[in-house]
Amino acid sequence: MQRLINLFIDSRAVVLKTIPFSDTSLICRIFTKEKGKISIMAKGAKRKKNLLSSVLECGNIIRLQYMFKENRDIQLLKEASLDYNIILIRKDLEKLLTLFSIIEILDKTTHPLNEAPILFRLINSTIKTLAVKKLNSKILYNFYLLHLAIQNGFKPNITNCSKCNTLFRDKIVLINGQLYCQSCDNFNSKLIHENSLSFIKKLMYTNINKINDLNVNDINLNSISFFLEDYIRYHIEGMNYVKSTSLLHKLSK
């Protein structure tokens, strides 16, 4: 008989979703550095005077200790505290809706117990950057979408047409998750402009700490978001079920 593994784990995580369980407890879905997405039970967290319920709010970056049992769907939380203060995000509606979108996208596009330390690093640094004052959250949102696609193995080919291999210039179309030049498009698909594509290229090679310095004059950041969301929807299962993004787009109009 195989021995089941029980581990006491001290980790950092991002809270994806929290739901009440019984009169006093909470069940949270979190994304951890070591184990990827897991569910934890916080017993007694809903009791008055227990600060855990505010620690376990969606979008928080937390430090936690929990018992990990391999055969259990829900792990038992021992302790949790805030690892990073994101109060600035919660005071700003656009930042808050951006936070909910990036959190929900990660939640819907990942499977439980799929170790992905790079995705953890991406969500962790995205949230921390979002908390920076005067940060353009639209640039950051696009950065996140692009790097999420790349980390899942779907780096978009933004230099050549996927059909005829011609170098892109002027306008480009997205068909079935591939980028085509305008002459290869028989469907009159949605076009994206070359300057949006060069901006995506910049996002590919710019450090997250420097994205706010990028020049966004004449760049339609909303259309880039729509493009990247469409792109991910085609390649990554689960993106279709994301709802928060529609609220974010309503605000951006």
Chain residues in the site for Zn ion (CB under 5 A):
161, 163-164, 181, 184
Is 58 or 184 the residue whose CB approaches Zn ion more closely?
184
Residue identified by tokens 């919660």 is 90
Least distance from Zn ion to the Cβ atom of residue 200, Å? 18
The answer to whether residues 228 and 141 touch, using CB atoms and an 8 Å cutoff, is no
Distance of closest approach, residue 233 Cβ to Zn ion, in angstroms: 22
Report the alpha-carbon distance of residue 153 to residue 77 in Å, rounded.
32
- 181 or 236: whose CB is closer to Zn ion? 181
Tell the smallest beta-carbon distance from residue 166 to Zn ion (Å). Answer: 5
Element (H, E) at 8: strand 6-21
Give the relative orientation of helices 194-205 and 137-151 as an angle to the nearest 10 degrees. 70
Nearest CA to 135 out of 88, 85, 196, 100 is that of 88
Closest approach, Cβ 183 to Zn ion, in A, equals 6
90 or 163: whose CB is closer to Zn ion?
163
Edge-to-edge strand list for the sheet holding 191-193? 178-181, 171-175, 191-193
For residues 22 and 183, which CB has a smaller minimum distance to Zn ion in the complex?
183
Strands in 112-170 per DSSP E: none
What is the C-alpha separation between 208 and 241, in angstroms, rounded? 27
Cα radius of gyration rounded to whole Å, the chain: 20
Nearer to Zn ion, 64 or 197 (CB): 197
Least distance (Å) between residue 164 CB and Zn ion: 3
Closer to Zn ion by CB, 89 or 181: give it.
181
In angstroms, what is the minimal distance from the CB of 158 to Zn ion? 14
